[in-house]
Amino acid sequence: MTSAPVQLGIIGLGRWAKVLTRAARQSDKLKIVAGYSRSPDTRAAFAREFGVPGVADLQTMLANPDIKGVILTVPNEQHLPIAEQAAKAGKHVYTEKPIADTLVDGIKLAALGKRYGIQIVVGHSARLLAGTRRMKQAIDSGELGRVVFMEGNFSNERALELTPQTWRWYKAKAPGGPLSQLAVHIFDSLHCLGGPIEAVSSHASKLSPVGAEVDDQSMTVLKFADGKLGYVGSSWTSPGVYSIRVFGQKGLMHYEVDFGTWDTPSRLHETSTLYIQRGKDCYGKREMLKIPASDMFVDELEMFAQAAADASAPELSAYNGVVAVAVVNAALRSIDGNGRLVQLADVIGEAEREAGARAA
């Protein structure tokens, strides 16, 4: 990294922009120096709260040579058009997950990197959680032996609170309900831990009493390229939970965080659990592991700043963002097919052909 902080702009100044701007304040490697929203009142309020000056139009931000990259916290359908403007201006791009609202647009957004010589970071920050990183270390070092199975669950009570005035009520805007809104985090984390995903089978149901369009329960089986299996569950009608378990032939690890402190990740380690069971030991002989303090939002922003500073390829890549959306799409296709196994290569291949046809 250069000694001076990397200067960044932020586009879209809603709730998540505030979360990331607070995180940015914790790092000396980057600085958010400009904010843009179409609303003058929003720009002014953001400037008062965070000391980040607003710009009256997007082109003013993109024309500033000191700004090396932009952070997009805009609605999903705006990711591609704004990222394209930024890329054409030579700015590196960080976009919140998912990479785009459709797989086709995600593939087109990923292609901007090569076309304009920029780096793209997608905010799948959950794979940067300290417990997940410790699991990956155990896998890579052979501490768990050959990994044969993984499972995860990300659930909360969102569907009990939906109304027709909220966008998550509608199937077109939140396809699969918790599948696209919550399970996508686990899909990316298991991709990080388990490697390439080959095929997907999924089921869903609707059990919330509010009557929303979207499904509110999902259960997805992942088949990995090396033969291991994974399971991801997600409920939108239960207390919040985020957990991952990895099963190896020499040991298993379990990681669980308190979803209630998700927006303050620097404190997640205080109420999280991480343990390992070794060999033939049962639960009573598990070894509790210390989880170091970390902040996944600071970590992802510093990863983006690094990529903007030296054009290094980030782990939170556009490719990984595309895979996460592809798994969701494959799961939705499987649900429509009563749980049939859907090959991920087929889903990505079809979207790539469609993206290419549109470009032509």
d(CA 54, CA 11): 10
Does the 6-125+298-316 domain belong in CATH 3.30.1360.120? no
pLDDT in tens, 279-308: 999 999 999 999 999 999 999 999 999 999
DSSP symbol at 129:
S
- For residues 230 and 149, give the distance between their C-alpha atoms in angstroms, rounded to a whole number: 5
- In the prediction, which pLDDT does 360 show? 60
DSSP class of residue 174 equals S
Domain with CATH 3.40.50.720 in the chain: 6-125+298-316
Q: What is the pTM of this model?
A: 0.94
pLDDT computed for residue 1 by the predictor:
45
* CA distances in angstroms from 126 to 37, 130, 259, 304, 356, listed in the order given: 27, 9, 12, 15, 31
Residue 81: partners with Cβ closer than 8 Å, 6 or more residues away: none
Q: Kindly report the CATH class assigned to 126-295.
A: alpha beta
**Digit-coded pLDDT (tens) for 149-171:** 999 999 999 999 999 999 899 99
- The whole-number pLDDT of residue 261 equals 79
Q: Is 133 left (phi over 0), alpha (psi -120 to 50) or beta?
A: alpha
* The predicted structure's pLDDT at residue 340: 97
Domain with CATH 3.30.360.10 in the chain: 126-295
pLDDT above 70 for 46: yes
Tell me whether residue 341 is exposed, middle or buried, using C-beta atoms within 10 angstroms of its C-beta: 0 to 12, 13 to 18, 19 or more: middle
Name the band, by pLDDT with cuts 50, 70 and 90, for residue 324: very high
